[in-house]
Amino acid sequence: QVQLQESGPGLVKPSQTLSLTCAVSGVSITTDSGYWTWVRQPPGKGRQWMGAIAYSGSTYYSPFLKSRISISRDTSKNQFTLQLSSVTPEDTAVYYCARAIGLSSPLNADEYDYWGQGIQVTVSS
């Protein structure tokens, strides 16, 4: 059974770097052919594809975030991490990690088979 669990701070100050970790169990992120993905949902809006890391370690980012986003992994812990720099209140959202079989943006829900429960992150001073 594949499970994903997000962790990280729920409050980040403007201009700081948001850092979240997704712990994966039930499958290895280095051998599974899926894309290990970060998605967010701002208040009152739909889910937005942010980026992903493949089993090979290749990374893919939304062009809207490309200058601020970084996704990495710790293979020894079977987890992957999101870093989003220079955050503003517009980055306030529920952040999800997920396994997807594609990289569609806008997000195509049919491409996703496993989701974490989500973590609320608020950007505020």
| pLDDT at residue number 93 | 98
| pLDDT at residue number 66 | 81
Let me know: does 118 contact 96? Beta carbons within 8 Å: yes
| pLDDT at residue number 32 | 87
3-state secondary structure 79-124: EEEEEECCCCHHHCEEEEEEEECCCCCCCCHHHEEEECCCEEEEEC
Q: Mean of the pLDDT values across residues 32-59?
A: 96
Let me know: does 106 contact 63? Beta carbons within 8 Å: no
Cα separation, 124 vs 92, in Å, equals: 8
pLDDT value at 31 more than 90 = no
Instruction: Give the pLDDT confidence of 75-114 residue by residue, as tens digits.
Output: 999 999 999 999 999 999 999 999 999 999 889 999 999 9
Cα separation, 33 vs 28, in Å, equals: 10
